[in-house]
Amino acid sequence: MGNVVKIAKWGNSCGIRIPATVLRKAEIEIDDLVYIESDQPGVISINITPSPKKGTMEYLFKDYSGESFDTELVDLGEPIGEEKW
């Protein structure tokens, strides 16, 4: 049997509280982005949107739109030890 929750007013929209057990089972975490839709009366579906995981190249470049950028190269001067650049 599923959980029964009440739809409540939230600003100009409505909201529901999703029980933690449901979120865990769906493997959805707080701040995840979800896609919500209704294709028929009485049915709402919520699906997690794929998002890159922290630490991956996809995550590091998730906001990059292809614009060029200038590097911030720093002149460290002449080597003072046995560094080989």
Q: What is the CATH number of the domain that holds 30?
A: 2.10.260.10
Is 44 part of any domain? yes
- Find the range with the poorest average confidence among 3-12, 51-60, 62-71: 51-60
pLDDT at residue 85, rounded to an integer = 62
Mean pLDDT to the nearest integer, 64-68: 83
Is 26 part of any domain? yes
Closest CA to 54 of 29, 34, 36, 26: 29
pTM for the whole structure? 0.52
Is 79 part of any domain? no
Answer whether residue 70 shows pLDDT above 80: no
Q: Residue 24 gets which letter from DSSP?
A: H
Structure tokens at 32: 């995840």
Is 23 part of any domain? yes
Answer whether residue 1 shows pLDDT above 70: no
Is 22 part of any domain? yes
Tens of pLDDT, residue by residue over 21-58, are: 999 999 998 888 899 999 999 999 999 887 777 778 87
Is 80 part of any domain? no
d(CA 84, CA 43): 65
Closest CA to 46 of 35, 55, 38, 56: 35
The domain in which residue 18 lies consists of: 8-60
